[in-house]
Structure 1
Amino acid sequence: MKGLTGYATDAEMGWIAKAVSSGERSWDSVKFYRPGKDGWESVKVDEPDGRPTRS
């Protein structure tokens, strides 16, 4: 991931989105984690509905 410093998560999410939307993997195969009080904990993230969001 050389050259992606500071943007790795953005790039990884793009790869996941492409794989899910093309049917290469299912959304429920993607695991998300966050720091917890006893280390990393799993987080359930609902599948996006595919509609673009605006900020």
Structure 2
Amino acid sequence: MKFDFHLKEQIVDAVEHLYDLSKKNVIVNITQKGIRVSEKRPTKQTIKWRAKNH
């Protein structure tokens, strides 16, 4: 049963990390080759809102 607990702990840690990444406004792509994390490009609307200090 130690193995099951260790595996569960690793999965929980990975999910917590992905949740933290989702709050930072990034895109996480999970494929067979691996995990790719990239930031979203600012759109004209987000640039406009940031310029107005919202």
Report TM bin, short chain. Answer: 0.3 to 0.5
- TM-score norm. by structure 2 comes to 0.36
What TM-score, normalized to structure 1? 0.36
